[in-house]
Amino acid sequence: MFWDKKTETLKPADLKALQLKRLKKTLAQVQHVDFYQKRFAEAGVKSSSIKTLDDIRKIPFTKKQDLRDGYPFGFFAVPLKKIVRIHTTSGTTGKPTVVGYTRKDLDTWSDLIARNMTMVGITEEDVFQNMVNYGMFTGGLGFHYGAEKVGMTVIPSATGNTKRQIEMINDFGVTTIHCTPSYAMHLSEVAEEMGTTMDSLKTGIFGAEAWSESTRKTLESRLGVTAYDSYGLSELFGPGVAFECPERDGLHIWHDSYLVEIIDPKTGEQVADGERGEMVVTPLVKEAMPLLRYRTGDVTLIMEDGCICRRGKKIARITGRSDDMLVIRGINVFPSQIEHVLLKIPEVGNQFMVYIDRINHLDEMTVDVEINRDSFSGELADLANLQKKVVKELRDALELRTTVKLVEPGSLPRFEGKAKRVVDRREVV
Amino acid sequence: MDAKKYVIRQISIFSENRPGRLAAIAHALGEEKINILAFSIAEANGFGVVRALVDHPEKAHDKLQSLGFNIAFTEVIAVKMKDQPGGLYEVAKILGDAGINIEYSYAYSGKDGAVLILRVDQIEDAIIRILDSGATLLERSVFH
């Protein structure tokens, strides 16, 4: 099924023409952003010199650090009064990355999500429970408006209270759920403990963290759903950027809205289809916050073969990151954020180690941190308070509950050269 | 009255809760021929504090610090208890009646009777109250 058949199945030549038209519009739009004016001047590039899609290579990349430097509104190409919504996502250090949307952006975004859902056969007959964070995270409101656009019956259940979630699924006859794959595993276990099944479920949309084919099999058999991988990032609106079709062999990325390049992250050179690299995306339909050649940090490849569903070229499921970003319970975490928090607490050292485990299918992050030699009072209670303080500061900064272990000064490894402070003990995808 | 002579210096050592840490501390003290007179371990979430009264606190401090341990001095008092039923009650009641809070405590029973080591929130007050009540406090010279 198609939401927008004409656009989704454009012939290559027509698609290219549309992409180029939209790229030129985007180039005009970015001229309202000081950052891009400077960038173009520094690189000696004029937007008029971008005449073909390939010419985009003349334009320097935009990195997450650039967005952070623009905090809060430096990347908005329209006046604030035209911005109707703001979301944020983790920055690499203290400040989050801010993304803004005009009314038209919200309409475009929900339309892309409607495409995804329609692609896998979801219709207005379906009842949809959206079990993700509804706050600053784009996954909640993003899917909410997309599902409403399709005409589904939407239950904005957000996260938490798993028993109540299961009761609602059964009482409301929910057919479709959206959550992180680890929460879906948890949901199935709680249902089992309750001695209940969720027979109305048909479709599971899982995203915001990497998950394996074996997790797919487990989720499908435990929940009785067909499981689809959903991909997106706030800088490109949020979820809805790419999605699996019923073939479930790669994700369709909406080429009319996102110009995709795969590059070697070291050289910045484009690689051929079928070769793995970092995905760089130029969104072609963003009004409030246009970006050029945005480094997603996600590692994938463009699949060479077409798809029998007649939509455009697919990308492979994301296999990792080209930077050190971690995804913990769907939340992006950079080790530098942890360092930043620790620097502000004089009683602890700046050395740390992060351990990530999956316990009962939920990600758990443990941070080992040294106490400073001269901050030890001799009292256990002071240490316990310090431990609580570090937990709180980390929670405030990362929006994530962590376990903090205080360790003896000098006991953590010191690194010469590139530090390896993160030990990810979760199941490998 | 010189209350200070009853203030005893306990060494408090931060330790991760993992095998071998106590052995490392004890070995270091043994090497320096430091005798441990009383001792306890308090544990919290993944870490602990080893508390000890030793005959040479300065030496113990320097040795453990040189080995990288996080160590601090803590002031405590030592009350002689009757080594018989009701002995602890007598001491605890004095402090309770005076509104002095015991933060933690440990005890040992030696050849000269039972001794209660106390960490209290108002140390000078505690010393005066205990002496006024006729109980015996051990002087720091007994230990170091």
- Return the ∠ at Cα B131 (arms to B34 and B87), rounded to 5°: 75
Amino acid making up residue A30 = V
Least confident of A14-23, A264-273, A368-377, B120-129: A368-377
Residue B109 lies in a domain: yes
Reply yes or no on whether the pLDDT at B1 is more than 80. Answer: no
Contact A168, A175 (CB under 8 A): no
Same-domain check for residues B83 and B70: no
In three-state form (DSSP H/G/I as H, E/B as E, the rest C), the secondary structure along B15-67 is EECCCCHHHHHHHHHHHCCCCEEEEEEEECCCEEEEEEEECCHHHHHHHHHHC
Q: What is the pLDDT, as a whole number, of residue A93?
A: 63
Same-domain check for residues B70 and B11: yes
ipTM, two decimals: 0.82
Contact A352, A369 (CB under 8 A): yes
Q: What is the pLDDT, as a whole number, of residue B143?
A: 78
Domains held by chain B: number? 2
Q: Helix and strand tally (H, E) in chain B?
A: 5, 6
Reply yes or no on whether the pLDDT at A280 is more than 90. Answer: yes
Same-domain check for residues B48 and B84: no
Residue B17 domain boundaries: 7-74
**Domain containing B26 — which CATH number?**
3.30.2130.10
Same-domain check for residues B65 and B106: no
Peptide bond just before A246 cis, omega within 30 deg: no
| Of residues A377, A384, A407, nearest to B16 (C-beta) | A407
Residues A238-251 pLDDT 10s: 999 999 999 999 99
What fold characterizes domain A328-424?
Answer: GMP Synthetase; Chain A, domain 3 (3.30.300)
> How many CB atoms are located within 10 Å of the residue A184 CB?
25
Best of B12, B49, B76 to substitute, by most chain A Cβ atoms within 10 angstroms, is B49
Q: What is the pLDDT, as a whole number, of residue A419?
A: 72
- Say whether B69 and A408 touch across the interface (CB within 8 A): yes
Domain(s) labelled CATH 3.40.50.12780 in chain A stretch across: 1-323
Contact A325, A297 (CB under 8 A): yes
Which of the listed residues B39, B55, B74 is the one where a domain comes to its end? Answer: B74
- Say whether B70 and A376 touch across the interface (CB within 8 A): yes
Reply yes or no on whether the pLDDT at A220 is more than 80. Answer: yes
Q: Does A380 touch chain B (CB under 8 A)?
A: yes
Shortest Cα–Cα distance, A189 to chain B (Å): 28
Least confident of A88-92, A163-167, A412-416, B67-71: A88-92
Contact A186, A206 (CB under 8 A): no
What is chain A's Cα-based Rg?
A: 23
Q: Does B20 touch chain A (CB under 8 A)?
A: no
Architecture of domain A1-323: 3-Layer(aba) Sandwich (3.40)
CA A51 and chain centroid, separation: 31
Residues A418-429 pLDDT 10s: 678 899 998 754
Which of the listed residues B25, B56, B74 is the one where a domain comes to its end? Answer: B74
Q: Read off the pLDDT band of A417 (50, 70, 90).
A: low
Q: What is the pLDDT, as a whole number, of residue A99?
A: 97
Q: Read off the pLDDT band of A41 (50, 70, 90).
A: very high
- Say whether A408 and B70 touch across the interface (CB within 8 A): yes
Residues A110-151 pLDDT 10s: 999 999 999 999 999 999 999 999 999 999 999 999 999 999
Best of B18, B45, B64, B67 to substitute, by most chain A Cβ atoms within 10 angstroms, is B45
When the pLDDT of each residue in chain A is averaged and rounded to a whole number, the result is 93
Q: What is the pLDDT, as a whole number, of residue A429?
A: 44
Dist CA A410 CA A351 (whole Å): 9
> Can you say whether the dihedral through the CA atoms of A381, A383, A389, A391 is positive or negative?
negative
Binding-face residues of B in 69-128 toward A, CB within 8 A: 69-74, 103-104
Residue B29 lies in a domain: yes
List CB contacts of B68: < 8 A, sequence separation 6 or more. A408, A409, A410, A411
Domain(s) labelled CATH 3.30.300.30 in chain A stretch across: 328-424
To 10 degrees, the CA torsion angle through A162, A166, A167, A169? 140
Reply yes or no on whether the pLDDT at B3 is more than 90. Answer: no
Q: In chain A, which residues have their Cβ closer than 8 Å to the Cβ of B12? A: 376, 378-379
Q: Does A42 touch chain B (CB under 8 A)?
A: no
Reply yes or no on whether the pLDDT at B144 is more than 80. Answer: no
Shortest Cα–Cα distance, A377 to chain B (Å): 6
Q: Read off the pLDDT band of A293 (50, 70, 90).
A: very high
Residue B2 lies in a domain: no
Same-domain check for residues B39 and B84: no
> How many CB atoms are located within 10 Å of the residue A295 CB?
22
Mean pLDDT in residue range B64-91: 90
